[in-house]
Amino acid sequence: MQRKIRAAGALCAALALAVAAACTDDAGGDGSGPEGAGEVFEEDRLVDMVNESNRLLYDLENAENRIIQNCLEREGFTVHDQMWFTTYEPEEQEALYEAGDWGGWLPDADEAARFGLGTWSTTAEGQADEDLDAYYEHEGIVVDSAAEGDVSAGVDRLDNSEFEALSDQEKFDWAVAFYGEATAIEEQGHLVGEEAPSTDDADAGDLDLEGDFDYVQPEPGGCQREMIDALYDDLQLIEDPEGGEYRSANWSWRPVNPVDDFAKWDEFEIRYEEQLADVRTALVECLDEHGRTGWEFDDEGMLPLSDYFYELYEGTADVHDHPDLPDDAPTDYEGKKEFEIAFAVDLAECGEATGYGDIAEQAWADSRNDYYLSIETSVYAWQEEVRTTLTTAQEVIEG
């Protein structure tokens, strides 16, 4: 059964997005809807689009790897570092979002009363807590008994033993053949006593930007470069837009999936944040009424709970972006765990009283739906570009 996204009128009320056609009952059936959208805004269509993009990217990664591996084997390298050649088939998505994607840091009443916020489980004393197994089962956490202390979500272990058995010189030679000498020295030079050049005042080459760089990635070489030249014609050095004061530049060659246009997503993130302003104020006021004063939402849209409870258990925190602990905060493990559970119960009660979880989840759902609608046409164009590249890749592989 197809599941339609919220009625157009509700979308407008929720986010006041600039998608005018979404504010009519026919949702753009007269052709006035957002470019690339169908007659009805159906989540199923958008989910299919996302799944197809994930599948194409998986196929593209495998094709790139096959070309590189064939090149390496022509040069006599038959044992490979599987870290570079292992891809995982994407899991089919059933929806654009899942419950808790908005953050999920707000516990429900039963969860809070049993496990608090779970911070106790990360401490040395918590590892011997009788509630630990129940908490892990509740969270779906798998402990790998083959590696003591290795807690994971059940990711399959990679068998790279054949490559690890090679000598250091053989590993380095393989790296040179894989991505060129400059990158091999930077990544694996320690194996043979080679030191990577200093990144101070790194040379950005032809990148037409002012100032010095802290890091510039070496230009791709070896079999990786052979693959790039065979499939792509847009190899370019790009400054990391998220670098802040630390300036770095890295090489890019694949066509970028419009889903990864973080600047565009920021527009919808701002609208999402605006939708939550009132309920966040209400939640903080509720905590005040429970004696939990001084709380503010951080830049990630969450209460800085992790740092607060890390300081409770460890006595200090790297970042003090949270209220001070009470003067009478407990000092023994059992007392700290009880304090955490009592706090979590208050937090859960405030979440229920303000409706925070439901409001945040709906606002997040609306923002995801509207974001994907806004990029639908460009995503389909990207998919066609990838399909063309896959056709070229198959021709290269077949020789």
Beta bridge partners of residue 238, listed in sequence order = 250
Counting beta carbons within 10 angstroms of the beta carbon of residue 86, is it exposed (0 to 12), middle (13 to 18) or buried (19 or more)? Answer: middle
**Distances 169 to 78, 158, 186, 191, 374 between C-alpha atoms, Å:** 15, 22, 15, 7, 51
Q: What is the pLDDT of residues 116-158, one digit of tens each?
A: 999 999 999 999 999 999 999 998 888 755 444 454 444 456 7
Alpha-carbon distance values, 208 to 156, 211, 213, 219 (Å): 43, 10, 12, 16
Residue 204 pLDDT level (bands cut at 50, 70, 90): low
CA dist 150 and 170 (Å) reads: 30
* CB 213 within 8 Å of CB 200: no
Domain ranges of the chain: 1-41
- Per-residue confidence (pLDDT) for residue 320, from 0 to 100: 80
Which pLDDT band, with edges at 50, 70 and 90, does 265 fall under? Answer: confident
| Helix ranges, 16-115 (H) | 43-74, 109-115
Helix, strand, or coil here: 180?
Answer: coil
The two tokens of residue 397 are: 């592989």
The 10s digit of each residue's pLDDT in 372-384 is 999 999 999 999 9
pLDDT of residue 213: 82
The answer to whether the beta carbons of residues 6 and 366 sit under 8 Å apart is: yes
Q: How many Å apart are CA 88 and CA 77, to the nearest integer?
A: 24
Residue 125 is classified by DSSP as: T
pLDDT at 210: 58
Q: CA-to-CA distance for 135 and 142, rounded, in angstroms?
A: 11
For the segment 347-356, what is each residue's pLDDT rounded down to a tens digit? 999 999 999 9
Q: Running DSSP on this structure, what letter comes out for residue 152?
A: E
Taking all residues of the chain, what is their mean pLDDT, rounded to a whole number?
84
Average pLDDT over residues 61-73: 97
Is 80 exceeded by the pLDDT of residue 171?
yes
Q: Of 12-21, 101-110, 371-380, give the range with the top mean pLDDT.
A: 371-380
In angstroms, how far is the first alpha carbon of the chain from the final one? 45
- pLDDT tens digits, residue range 173-183? 999 999 999 99
The arithmetic mean of pLDDT across residues 198-224, rounded, is 72
Whether the pLDDT of residue 105 is over 70: the answer is: yes
- Can you tell me the mean pLDDT for 60-88? 96
